[in-house]
Amino acid sequence: MAEQKTKPTKVTLEESLDTLPTERRRDEGRKLDAIFRRATGKKSVMWGPSIVRYGQYDYHSPGGAKGVWPVVGFSPRKAALTLYVLNKSEAQSPDLARLGKHKAKGVCLYINKLEDVDLDVLEKLVRDAWERNVNKS
């Protein structure tokens, strides 16, 4: 069985944010960290060079793969902020409709800039994703 590629690192969030090319993305990363910490009650852990995650659980896929995976998280990428909070559930549809300008695909929510969305709705999505994933693990 192949070893899990994305793992926790010793890099701090601030160290990671310092590598971002724009002050706006660094500020958005700090704002997202505050939202995720309030919603989860957890501190951030860097997974790989650019993924900020909160909490973790053991997973066992139907194909037999096993590993540890974060509960929720985000990545302040150059093209868009990527948030790992979706589950393709109809229960999320009302919040996504109220969120503001975004794209959704799979488990990822893509936002060009935080000023495009309602931060209270975003925090609710993060909190709901946290509770849903913690309760299933």
Structure tokens at 62: 């139907």
Give 3-state DSSP helix, strand, coil % of the chain, rounded to 5.
Answer: 40, 30, 30
Give the count of alpha carbons within 13 A of 74, CB side only: 34
The CATH code that applies to domain 13-136 is: 3.90.1150
CA 136 – CA 2 distance, rounded (Å)? 25
- If one counts every other C-beta atom within 10 angstroms of the C-beta of residue 26, the result is 17
CA 10 – CA 59 distance, rounded (Å)? 22
Domain boundaries, the chain: 13-136
pTM of the model: 0.89
pLDDT in tens, the chain (137 residues): 566 677 788 999 999 999 998 999 999 999 999 999 999 999 999 998 889 999 988 877 788 888 888 899 999 998 999 999 998 778 899 999 999 999 999 889 999 999 999 999 999 999 999 998 876 64
